[in-house]
Amino acid sequence: MNILFIADPLESFKVYKDSTFAMMREAARRGHQVWACEQPDVTWQRGGMVQAKARHIELTGLADEWFYVKTTDTVALADMGAVMMRKDPPFDTEYLYTTHLLTQAAREGARVFNRPQALREHPEKLAILEFPEFIAPTLVTCNIQAVRAFHATHRDIILKPLDGMGGAGIFRVREDGLNLGSITETLTRDGTQTIMVQGFLPAIAQGDKRVLVIDGEPVPHALARIPQGGEVRGNLAAGGLGVAQPLTDKDWHIARTLGPILAARGLLLVGLDIIGEHLTEINVTSPTCFQEITQQTGFDVAARFIDALEARLSV
């Protein structure tokens, strides 16, 4: 089977930890043909089908020059066995436009994962609003006075942009309110851009857990990303330490409640972020942590994922 990965430039991959690479490696191990392109390579023209200028690659097994290009060709997405949308955030207008092209490709017969419509309907920070029973006190607003009132009630809060990744743009304001005005004005662009504000969760000291859910079923180990050096952010990109650990009873409950709902919407792979007992994000664009969990626990996340992909395609 030919599998097309729409991803960031292959040359930028850190193969020792990249989850898309882990998917590619497992797919290739099973004899599938791996193709790759970038977001701007996907096009459509009247009279034709959604297509991409893509590279058919072979994995070398080396750490540095980890692939070589067998051929470059323009392929119709509907002619691929599967199309994996693995472009990292931000979910900007270009990403949105690509999901519309992928929806058209799906109309033409392409099998796209995660489902493009579901990507559009589940913005990673806002998707938690559907499940208020699992989340911390949360406010979504661009109103500066509303943020001040939320802080007055909860005293210790986290503010973050809705389109960030890797912990970028996240601020904590404690009870003294130091810099609350400046931070709020900056993040909201003087009250014109919507942000998320949440009550601070002290359990972040034990890690921001990434729970992977594959076709509705949780992976039994989470990666707890533990803040280091006085940081409030556990994100690996912000220097967090990744420690794999078994799911807690609450993790299982959250994941098994959300998993079937999200899978039914076409989300084959989801990354739930959980701090303590609270759901903080639902990641659907390009969930990561495959390799860290596998390396520390022996549970082969990539194999479980390709099993699920093959099962979906056989239906």
Answer with the one of 114, 146, 178 that is the final residue of a domain: 114
Answer with the one of 200, 230, 252 that is the final residue of a domain: 200
- Beta strand 278-283 pairing with 269-275: antiparallel
DSSP output for 36-53:
EE-GGGEE--TTS--EEE
Q: Each residue of 76-105: pLDDT tens digit? A: 999 999 999 999 988 889 999 999 999 999
Reported pTM: 0.93
**Angle at which helices 290-297 and 301-313 pack, to 10 degrees?**
120
User: Is the separation of the CB atoms in 172 and 158 below 8 Å?
Assistant: yes
Place of tokens 């890690």: 207
Q: How many percent of the chain have pLDDT more than 90?
A: 90
Q: How many domains does the chain have?
A: 3
List beta partners, residue 2: 33
Answer with the one of 200, 221, 252 that is the final residue of a domain: 200
Q: Is the same domain home to 215 and 143? A: no
The predicted pLDDT at position 227 comes to 85
Q: How far apart are CA 173 and CA 177, in angstroms?
A: 6
Q: Is the same domain home to 193 and 210? A: no
The predicted pLDDT at position 233 comes to 66
Q: Is the same domain home to 188 and 240? A: no
Q: Each residue of 100-158: pLDDT tens digit? A: 999 999 999 999 999 999 999 999 899 999 999 999 999 999 999 999 999 999 999 99
List beta partners, residue 279: 274
The predicted pLDDT at position 230 comes to 65
Q: What's the mean per-residue pLDDT of the chain?
A: 95
Q: How many percent of the chain have pLDDT more than 70?
A: 97
Nearest to 236 by CA among 177, 189, 195, 290: 290
* Active site positions, annotated: 125, 160, 210, 225, 233, 273, 281, 283
- Residue 235's domain comprises 126-130+204-313
Q: Which spans in 180-248 are helix H?
A: 180-187
* Phi/psi of residue 266, nearest 5 degrees: 95, 15
Q: Each residue of 212-269: pLDDT tens digit? A: 999 999 999 999 999 886 677 666 766 779 999 999 999 999 999 999 999 999 999 9
Report the pLDDT averaged over residues 178-190.
95
For residue 189, give the CATH number of its domain.
3.30.1490.20
